[in-house]
Structure 1
């Protein structure tokens, strides 16, 4: 059993979470296109180590609220969702750990609410402070093909590709960025769309990654078949709004104790190598940074034992609450 399912609500917020264990609170925040289930291996490990591990469905996913207004998915709202969960659970502070978009949400939670989030763990996507040109301008200038972030911007466009076969699309997406199934070097990049094409055309077919069983895929697909993908995609559709909202934090460092772990084969890590190199300035509280050889993007599912050891070791070394 992964843990106890519950919903916390109030002030217009409704957030589904799964909780296991007792002790200092560790809030786990997933990325795209996932759910609380991405942390199924971490929940029991953290609980066994003496922590109260809580994995949420991010706004727009799973059993959490999915507002119709795209503006409701801006970063400031997601940060306040995390702070709300901490309060709703009767705690004053927590450690926040995120993966993929959850890493970005976790970093901004620590940045905007240091009164609540006393330490931050980042998986797969490095912390890169707000700055530079407007994100849509950056992604529009990435070459002759269309970057997936730009492809996701138009409401309904990606949904039309994904929703007729959610299970098949998810299987291909997970495989495309897993260390054991990603396309070989030199193959067309699955993060880009050719003229008039789709992302799925470049996904590996016919093989699931080693970390993803049929039952696991059923869990992910079942939730998105029920909710659709718009809530999840609205996170991408707020990147320019976030850039405007966070102008006061341009170049801001996160001083709390932090951890970073990424996959050695993950484009999110390699493309943002400069962000990792800048950690002495941007994450002055960094305790440890790790690259797992041969690992792709889904780090806590591809290498659960290694990630659990890194998290527990880091958590155990944090100042007592």
Structure 2
């Protein structure tokens, strides 16, 4: 079964890997105006030892977006139901960009469902002055062109094999999306109501509520543009197994530009991930 109807929308997803879940279940969550194809270089490598669930968020890819909103909590609501339908138990959520915001909301507001978070180039940590003009830029008749321009400037230096093909792919995918979906997704990240999830300083207290281990993978240029460094993320991830890794010479889609390197980093971190703590039972004897 590759479609599940949730909140009036048909959510496309794949479910691969060893029977019984192997070394744990991974939920891979793509970014804004993207789809699950973004994880093509990860799915097979991860599924060798893990159960791997890869959805298209509502309004993206093959999933419909006919009802409900397009904010991070709306996507989380869908994923909570999907995890229950698939009977996954706690998962490690691997999120890119918007997907990292979604992963963090899932970890904060549904901690029983999340074993760990892996945030790849997360769409949070922006300075307060960055968000309002970006949100305003999408209040135009053709927000798709704005999104194509924004996302089209986030690849790496071009030295990586296939970098030009990635640029073409990213642009053409955005151009095929519904304009109002694109507008609402970006507003859901950068308008005033989104500040607590994406913009400093409000997001700092929110991220500090993640009690699970967090692996953060960020491009050095992205952190410079935000005015932070790897220590910022690590200071907000309070679990002792959390770590922040900064890579130079790579763009926003690092998992596509350097898949072997990113896969090795993720799988190595997962190999040492502490076992979940057993639930504390209450003694009801009289």
Query: TM-score, normalised to structure 1's length?
Result: 0.71
Shift of 1:271: 2.7
Q: Does 1:264 align with 2:230?
A: no
Contact 1:296 1:302 in 2 (8 A): yes
Query: Which of the numbers 181, 195, 201 marks the counterpart of 1:231?
Result: 181
Q: Does 1:7 align with 2:28?
A: no
Alignment of 1:285-304 (within 5 A): 285=239, 287-304=242-259
Contact 2:43 2:52 in 1 (8 A): yes
Corresponding residue for 2:268? 313
Structure 1, unaligned stretches of length 5 or more? 141-146, 163-168, 183-207
Q: Does 1:255 align with 2:240?
A: no
Partner Cα distance (1:220, 1:126) in 2: 19
Corresponding residue for 1:31? 31
Query: TM-score, normalised to structure 2's length?
Result: 0.78
Contact 1:32 1:100 in 2 (8 A): yes
Shift of 1:128: 4.1
Any idea what SS the aligned residue of 2:249 has?
Answer: coil
Contact 2:230 2:245 in 1 (8 A): no
In the TM superposition, what whole-angstrom CA distance separates every residue of 1:260-311 from its partner, at most 9, and x where no partner exists? 111223x3x2233537433344211253221122101111101101110111
How many equivalent residue pairs?
A: 264
Corresponding residue for 2:281? none
Contact 1:19 1:54 in 2 (8 A): yes
Partner Cα distance (1:276, 1:229) in 2: 34
Alignment of 1:128-277 (within 5 A): 128=125, 139-140=131-132, 147-152=133-138, 154=139, 156-159=141-144, 161=145, 170=148, 175-181=152-158, 210-211=162-163, 213=165, 217=168, 221=172, 224-225=175-176, 227-238=177-188, 239-243=191-195, 251-252=205-206, 253=208, 254-265=210-221, 267=222, 269-274=223-228, 276-277=230-231
Any idea what SS the aligned residue of 1:213 has?
Answer: helix
Contact 2:152 2:171 in 1 (8 A): no
In the TM superposition, what whole-angstrom CA distance separates every residue of 1:97-147 from its partner, at most 9, and x where no partner exists? 111111111111111111111210001126549xx9xx6x7534xxxxxx4
